[in-house]
Chains A and B, each alone.
Chain A
Amino acid sequence: DVKVTQSSRYLVKRTGEKVFLECVQDMDHENMFWYRQDPGLGLRLIYFSYDVKMKEKGDIPEGYSVSREKKERFSLILESASTNQTSMYLCASSSPPGPTNEKLFFGSGTQLSVL
């Protein structure tokens, strides 16, 4: 069964801390994504990566960075956490565009609270 694993289910951090959210997929997918989910706002794309060491900004990259040193791992970094970054963070992966559909496989999410 395909799997996208996020390292933490719940995380509580203090304002100003550096926070790492880790995501690993076992499907050999090229594309990986980080979204945040907030009530009433749906999913908003923070960053995505279509290859190792490649990254692209999504719709709301401010305050975040990412790292993709290995194909299976995509990390989201909050350089200095702020209370407005309290949210559910979802990682996803997909295979490259082709004749099949580009469906996403999601992790279970990390609920981050910044105090």
Chain B
Amino acid sequence: GEDVEQSLFLSVREGDSSVINCTYTDSSSTYLYWYKQEPGAGLQLLTYIFSNMDMKQDQRLTVLLNKKDKHLSLRIADTQTGDSAIYFCAETPLGGGSYIPTFGRGTSLIVHP
């Protein structure tokens, strides 16, 4: 079955760039997502990328996809204290009738002033 792995913690200084990494195992075409969970709240979709893309940029966020290595990263430029949250990587394989996303365990991003 599918598996999504990400490291549990990342600590950065305010103003620096953050890079959160994720690996996945499904080899079929897929959507890949980044969700953000702020303290005491549910998850909110940040951005997504389809597996035929290499990169997607949205303001301070850059998503990079290395299909060969099945590696996804989320870069946050000029990280702010308000970016402190848990970031979840998720994938939804297309085809085969399954539309259930598989989530990683989440990376806690801690931003120091």
Question: Do A and B associate with each other?
Answer: yes
Q: Is the CB of B42 within 8 A of A103?
A: no
Roughly how many angstroms separate A104 CA and B8 CA in the complex, as a whole number? 22
Q: Mark A78-115, 1 if CB is under 8 A from B, else 0.
A: 00000000000010101011000111111111000000
Q: Is the CB of A104 within 8 A of B105?
A: no
Q: How many residues does chain A have at the interface if contact means C-beta atoms less than 8 Å apart?
A: 24
Roughly how many angstroms separate A92 CA and B41 CA in the complex, as a whole number? 13
Roughly how many angstroms separate A76 CA and B55 CA in the complex, as a whole number? 38
Q: Mark A48-68, 1 if CB is under 8 A from B, else 0.
A: 100000000010000000000
List B contacts of A58 (CB < 8 A): 100
Q: In chain B, what residue has the closest Cβ to A56?
A: B100
Decide: A42 near B103, CB < 8 A? Known: A102-B92, A103-B33: yes
Q: Mark B91-110, 1 if CB is under 8 A from A, else 0.
A: 01010000111011110000
Q: Is B43 an interface residue (CB 8 A)?
A: yes
Q: Mark B11-45, 1 if CB is under 8 A from A, else 0.
A: 00000000000000000000101010000111111
Decide: A104 near B45, CB < 8 A? Known: A40-B8, A40-B105, A43-B103: yes
Within the complex, the shortest CB–CB distance from B26 to chain A, in Å, comes to 14
Roughly how many angstroms separate A18 CA and B100 CA in the complex, as a whole number? 28
Known pairs A41-B105, A102-B99, A103-B45; list 4 more (Cβ under 8 Å): A4-B42, A102-B31, A103-B48, A106-B43
Closest 10 CB pairs of A and B: A106-B42, A42-B105, A97-B99, A106-B43, A43-B103, A101-B31, A108-B42, A103-B45, A102-B99, A102-B92
